[in-house]
Structure 1
Amino acid sequence: MSVSIYYSAMRSFPISAVEKLNLLSIVDNFNEGFPYENEGETLSFYSDPSDEYLLEGSVKLPYRDENIIVDSVIYWLNALTHLTSAVPEAEWDVRIDDCPASWVDDHWEM
């Protein structure tokens, strides 16, 4: 059984060039620092998000150990917090499989 985090953002205008660079920089930094990169996927965006979305993506978590799953969820929610901050006008949706993550005090929590 695998666990994934799904994320998307919507807003009425497209991502600017500066925002895109910031988003890609955040993704690169978190992907390079992910301690379980050989056991799970890294953060990415779908190349063609659905019409209503600014961006969409998912990351499949390592599943061999419960502690690694929890560590990975915390790690990627931190990354998504940074991404959310990089596009603050967007409405974000973050889910761990079918369960919504919560935006609490300016960060994502499970």
Structure 2
Amino acid sequence: MSVSLYYSAHRAEPPTAAESAEIARVNAAHQDSFPYQDQESLFLHDDPAPGELPAGFTKMLGDPERMLSVLVHVLDSLTELRRALPGAEWRVHLDDLDVPWDEDEGYAIPGMRDPGLAAELGGP
């Protein structure tokens, strides 16, 4: 059974040139720093629907040793994207579970930065 992280942003006005450049920068930085070549990563649709800004999904592999690391990496990039697009309405969810937004921390699932949990799962 696979789990996927889905994300989308909506706003009446399209991204400005500066916002589009920031979206491209965040996406490129994410791809450059992503640690797994054989795992799906941040995936933004090339042609979003009208009124949709970045949107996409990441399919999580069933490997618990990687899942937490991948989730942290993708959610950190989504946090950067949300902060780059003021006024957008975001929806981020792991299958049917909404991922909460916190102004200070950004997108996070409770416990995802717990070093004990990461060590237990075999992560860094």
Residue in structure 1 matched with residue 6 of structure 2 by the alignment: 6
Which residue of structure 2 aligns with residue 48 of structure 1?
Answer: 47
Partner of 1:36: 36
Identity %: 34
Q: Is contact 1:14–1:54 with CA below 8 Å preserved after alignment?
A: yes
Aligned-CA RMSD value: 1.5
What amino acid sits opposite 1:29 in the alignment?
A
- Cα deviation per residue 1:31-51 (whole Å; 9 max; x = unaligned)? 11111232x112121123233
| 1:82 paired residue number | 80
CA shift for structure 1 position 61: 2.1
2: CA distance, partners of 1:52 / 1:105: 24
- Post-superposition, which runs of at least 4 consecutive aligned residues in structure 1 deviate over 3 A? none
Q: 2:92 aligns with which of 82, 91, 94?
A: 94
TM-score, scaled relative to structure 1? 0.88
* Matching residue's letter, 2:20: K
Aligned equivalents of 1:52, 1:15: Cα separation in 2: 10
Cα distance per residue 1:52-87 (max 9 Å; x no partner): 422311112232x21311111111111100010110
How far apart in 2 are the matches of 1:51 and 1:23?
A: 17
Residues of 1 paired with 2:78 and 2:53: CA distance? 15
Structure 1 unaligned residues grouped into runs of 5+: none
Kept in 1: contact 2:14–2:51 (CA 8 A):
no
Amino acid in the other structure paired with 1:34: F
CA contact (8 A) 2:40 2:60 kept: yes
Deviates more, 1:46-55 or 1:26-35: 46-55
Superposition TM-score, scaled by structure 2 size: 0.79
Cα contact 1:62–1:72 (8 A) shared by 2: no
Query: Which secondary structure does the structure 2 equivalent of 1:15 belong to?
Result: coil
SS of equivalent residue, structure 2 residue 52 = coil
